[in-house]
Structure 1
Amino acid sequence: MLNKRISLIALGMLSATQAMANDQAESKGFVEDSSLKVLLRNAYINRDYKDGNPDKAEWGQAAIGTYSSGFTQGTVGVGVDAFGLYALRLDGGKGRTGAQGIDFFKQGASGNAADDLSKFGGAVKFRISSTTLTYGDQMPELPVLNYDNSRLLPESYTGTLITSKEVKGLVLNAGHFTAESRKSAEGRDSGGLKSINVLGGSYQFTEQFKAAVYASDVEDVLKKQYVNANYVLPFNKEQSLTLDFNGYRTKLDNSYVRENGVTGDDNKIWSLAATFATGAHSFTLAHQRSTGDSNLGYAYGGYQRGQNRVGDGGNTIYLANSYWSDFNAEDERSWQLGYGLDFSTYGIPGLSYNFAYVRGDNITTSTSEGGTEREIFNQFKYVVQNGPAKDLSVRLRSSVLRVSQKSSEYNVSGNELRVFVDYPINIF
């Protein structure tokens, strides 16, 4: 059914001849609008687990090259996108790789991680007016299919995505993807995805109010719906209040429940965050709640081959209380107090700090009820403002996560440290 809806919407998008916008009319050409960028990334993650669990750490250097052509001129514009990825493992890796949440380099059958990995991808794109159809290897950024770029190398997906911006403020998406490339492994189809259909859009109603609705269908795994509402209330030039609501409803397929030993098939999770910004400071208060009978809680991301996960992208969690822990267990309720500081006001442009304290309770597992967890999150980030290293960023992030014994089936206590150095280079 979702496949048919996508086909009908695609035809409607591509036949929109009386559109309000027309990006294709402003095309300068295939070469003239092209760009080539390289991101050099050095990344390190260390997890000091508690309760007798072995520590895990990975360190690597990556080069991520992306090329995007412009569109040929005319009624139908044609272009191409391509990427090339390479990663080199810098640590010894003995006994410290293989953590599902780090996953820089996938372990082989021998249990050893690869010394390096490389992969390439490409896509062809067509544009009519302000509607673009892209077929091939892509990195989608949608609330129900969002590739993971928070580790050493990014994930990617192979398929078709249509994006329409014919009406000012309205963005529509429809897509069908048939393969997933794992961020830690070579190959176009290393993630185990059969297929995923996505459909939805967002609309900027006013300068202050924006909303979005999306749906997805992961073949033989689940169906998911997402809704968002975001409202910004400005008080003056220096102060504002932002209210952000996000919610997912997930229904697991019966075959997935049976084959993976899952209990229950339904989950609903939502978060509401209020952020007050005043000058260089921001203060956040958020609440998040998970309900339903699935013991997986809110299921997302991961890879279907041997991980009991779903394959819809490692960043497909547009929720307020997602840090090291996602606070997404069965029946879990969580609260967040957050703080942010922009040091540019104090004479250090490019430096920022973020803090969050999140506490979750009411966690249900197969053996207990009423479990708890809590996390203290700290992050400093500095972006070089000028000179030869302009735009180079250094991000230092730490989390202290403590999980009660009742919740040990769901999560693990530990201390996490992440150090990321990103240097983007615009070739042209």
Structure 2
Amino acid sequence: MLYDWANSAYSVIISTAIFPIFYKASADAAGVDGVDSTAYLGYTIAIATFILAMLSPILGTIADYEGLKKKFFAFFFVIGVVSTGLLAAVPYDSWLVLLALYTITAIGFAGANVFYDAFLVDVTREDKMDDLSARGYGWGYIGSAIPFLVCIAIIMLSQMEILPLSVTAASQISFVITAIWWAVFTIPMLKHVHQIYFITREKKPITNSFKRLGGTLKKIRLYKPLFLFLIAYFFYIDGVGTIIKMSTAYGTDLGISSTSLLLILFLTQVVAAPFAILYGRLAERFTGKKMLYVGIGVYIIVCIYAYFLKTTIDFWILAMLVATSQGGLQALSRSYFAKLIPKDQANEFFGFYNIFGKFAAVMGPLLVAVTAQITGSTSTGVLSLVVLFIIGGVILAFVPETKQEAGMVSE
């Protein structure tokens, strides 16, 4: 749970809030049109997630060997932390360099999450997975809110000239704060969490890993319920990820001030924390599947409302709606999948879980980016995401909730 606390600072400050605003200002200073700069951000997110989508199943298969899961986790964690800190060294008007370095930070962040998610099977029983996964997301929202509040304070004090810093320098300091927070609170994960389920190391591990990767592909095709869940997840998580990553750029295009955006996003984290934990509790009572449907329903409302969004008040309402369900939907998806798969092949299967999520994250930002440039309106692209949630919900109806019902062999 503390790793969620640690890396969620990146999710908010870099992926969602301060970096997108900093990037948009940098692109504007360089004379790039607002709609185009949002589109370029969408393309960048798509490129980063495509790279991870290609790597995830291969790395996950190799990491199933004894002792390798944590090493792969640490490798990507270091890449993410170092590149995030380096964002502070990029000159303000170098918006292309910002996008390139942001791509590296995203690869480090998402790559570490492949193995972090797979550790879920090592740290709890199946009947506790929904609750623990949701608690992780809940802790993450609280853990991200603290450094985010500090960063907002530094930026606002700089704007009021109380601190002898430019807003540019204040934003760059927030990138350093993010890297430090992420690094420090990952120490318990590195020190205390260990791989319990694994495959014994053998000769020619890379060659055999590719053979097992092919075997897993066959398994996924053979176990129809598991494959159907991944397809459903592909569609609905696409909408979730796109809204999270592009909400700030969208708000900027609507003319909402950076101060209002930062305050809205901060309170979104505060509200999201108890709701994520609530989703886990309600999943124990009503089942994870029913709560996934609740989350999908809320996001359909979000997409429709976003199309008609005009004022800052509208954006506040939209943000609070997102806050009620974004953590719960992601947390229960993670635990739902974890309960269906063999534990000793968790990395391998979570590699495919992430490839479906990452390919979805390629499609969503591209959809918004292309639609924004064709129509000149980001709102149309957001509205189109409704279709993805509906398709995901329909397919989810055919997926069981237990490994036995899914026809997966026991470990």
TM-score bracket for this pair, using the shorter chain length? under 0.3
Q: Which has the higher strand share?
A: 1
TM-score (norm 1): 0.24
* Greater percentage in helix: 2
- Which has more radius of gyration? 1
Greater length-normalized contact order (CA 8 Å, ≥ 6 residues apart): 2
